[in-house]
């Protein structure tokens, strides 16, 4: 082929590519403070300012106010019934950060070394978790912190043993630091054992449901009078053979918590496959956990616990974000939750210090806010005792005269999330 023809075709391809790039897809960013990309949405969406930092292409059928043509009158009319109730947009109820440290020494098989737990508090030679939380509350307006802890730490490595008072009191120092940040802050107690103890699955050949429930009974009794405590039953169950048996385990914990006197606090119910938002319905977790009830048979304040990262394999181990999860996870889950009159809380998500994560994290957060009737909020992973160089670090740095973000990219999407919070 002649060189001039090749050049002409290449030029045409560039022009066509540039023209297509001028339109922004549904749920993607189209404006906001500091944004320099294209601002024209595809024809099925409209660019909507959600706050000063972020504008998004909201689909016409999801609350976007799109131009419509006036139909000509006819002698007949039809009505349609939507397949599910409409979404309700608004600020998220909760936004916050995980404060890790008491879970250090735990692996995904639920093997935790109690002595490896590292309290993220200065008095225990850890990072200043208390200062971090105050910074997130005062400077970012956040109001939720998840405080992961290993089961073995609580019982001092004794399966079936009682919760050791001294260990619980040490953990309680972090809980109190969380509660003391502001009168509206909620604190999530999370047992970080992946539905296991040293490889054995609770209620399915490993620890008994009674042993697990006994631990939760002790914890609930300590915090039963505080409405700002949320009980996170278990972090990321995975490869659980029988989801209905797992729901029975969760029911045992819920019953123990309620019988201990914590009758009104929120309880988070986790599903299989790392409690992934993408597979929560398809793998049977939603249906099985829907049968978990309070003592009176209601499901009040029983909320589904879901996680979702944005890297290529959903592991939360890589700096680049390849998806905003909307089409594959959040939109289908929102429909199911709305149809079944349930809610979910995204207690783990995160992204790296990259442009791709700035874009896609903001898109994900904005979608959750657009569906805040079913999504209560999100908690990023993670601050606490992580080193600022950790790939998903949200650890701020205390300069002595104030706190600053260690990584600019994460600062952007954390900062922008303020506009989606009550």
Hey, which residues are catalytic here? 236, 348
Q: How far apart are CA 233 and CA 188, in angstroms?
A: 10
Burial of 23 (0-12, 13-18, 19+ CB in 10 A): middle
Tell me how crowded residue 198 is: count the other CB atoms within 10 A of its CB. Answer: 16
State the residue for tokens 């019982």. 155
Taking Cα atoms as reference points, which of 229, 287, 291 lies closest to residue 255? 291
Measured CA to CA in angstroms, residue 21 lies from 7, 77, 138, 178 at distances of: 21, 39, 39, 45
E runs forming strands in 102-170: 144-149
Q: How far apart are CA 338 and CA 146, in angstroms?
A: 25
Backbone phi and psi for residue 398, each to the nearest 5 degrees, phi listed first: -90, 115
Q: Are 265 and 229 in contact (CB under 8 A)?
A: yes
Q: Looking up tokens 């600053």, which residue turns up?
A: 404
Please give the structure tokens belonging to residue 32: 């906001």
Residue for token pair 């045992």: 252
What's the burial of 44, exposed, middle or buried (CB within 10 Å: 0-12/13-18/19+)? middle
User: How many secondary structure helices (H) and strands (E) does the chain include?
Assistant: 11, 17
CA distance 347 to 317: 17
Cβ distance 153 to 197 under 8 Å? no
Q: Report the distance separating Cα 241 and Cα 239, nearest Å.
A: 6
Q: Which residues, including other chains, have CB under 8 Å from residue 55's CB and lie 6 or more apart?
A: 29, 30, 31, 32, 35, 39, 47, 48, 49
Query: DSSP secondary-structure letter at 73?
Result: P
Q: Are 106 and 192 in contact (CB under 8 A)?
A: yes
**E-state strands within 13-53:** 23-24, 29-31, 40-41, 45-51
Return d(Cα 330, Cα 323) in angstroms, integer.
11
Say whether 303 sits in a helix, a strand or coil: strand
What is d(CA 32, CA 10) in angstroms, rounded to the nearest whole number?
Answer: 33
């Amino acid at each position: 082929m002649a060189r001039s023809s090749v050049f002409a075709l290449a030029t045409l391809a560039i022009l066509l590519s540039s023209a297509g790039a001028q339109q922004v897809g549904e749920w993607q960013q189209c404006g906001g403070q500091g944004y320099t990309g294209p601002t024209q949405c595809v024809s099925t969406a409209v660019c909507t300012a959600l706050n000063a930092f972020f504008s998004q292409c909201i689909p016409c059928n999801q609350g976007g106010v799109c131009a419509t043509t006036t139909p000509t009158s006819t002698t007949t009319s039809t009505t349609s019934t939507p397949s599910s109730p409409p979404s309700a947009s608004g600020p998220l109820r909760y936004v916050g950060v995980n404060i890790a440290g008491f879970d250090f020494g735990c692996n995904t098989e639920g093997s935790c070394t109690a002595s490896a737990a590292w309290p993220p508090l200065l008095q225990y030679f850890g990072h200043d978790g208390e200062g971090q939380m105050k910074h997130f509350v005062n400077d970012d307006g956040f109001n939720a912190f998840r405080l992961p802890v290993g089961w073995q730490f609580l019982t001092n490595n004794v399966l079936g043993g009682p919760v050791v008072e001294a260990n619980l009191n040490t953990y309680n120092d972090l809980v109190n630091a969380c509660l003391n940040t502001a009168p509206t802050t909620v604190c999530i107690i999370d047992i970080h054992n992946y539905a296991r103890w040293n490889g054995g699955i609770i209620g399915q050949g490993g620890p008994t449901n009674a042993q697990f429930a006994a631990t939760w009974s002790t914890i609930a009794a300590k915090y039963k009078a505080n409405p700002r405590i949320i009980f996170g039953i278990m972090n990321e169950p995975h490869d659980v053979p029988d989801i209905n048996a797992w729901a029975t385990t969760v029911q045992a914990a819920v019953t123990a918590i309620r019988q201990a006197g914590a009758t009104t606090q929120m309880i988070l119910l986790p599903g299989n496959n790392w409690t992934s938002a993408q597979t929560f319905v398809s793998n049977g977790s939603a249906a099985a956990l829907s049968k978990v009830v309070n003592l009176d048979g209601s499901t009040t304040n029983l909320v589904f616990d879901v996680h979702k990262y944005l890297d290529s394999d959903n592991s939360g181990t890589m700096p680049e974000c390849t998806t905003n999860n909307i089409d594959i996870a959040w939109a289908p889950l929102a429909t199911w939750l709305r149809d079944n009159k349930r809610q979910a809380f995204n207690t783990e998500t995160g992204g790296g210090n990259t442009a791709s994560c700035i874009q896609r994290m903001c898109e994900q957060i904005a979608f959750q806010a657009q569906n805040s009737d079913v999504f209560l909020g999100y908690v990023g992973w993670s601050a606490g005792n992580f080193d600022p160089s950790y790939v998903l670090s949200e650890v701020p740095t205390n300069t002595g005269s104030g706190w600053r973000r260690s990584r600019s990219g994460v600062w952007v999407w954390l900062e922008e999330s303020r506009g989606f919070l009550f």
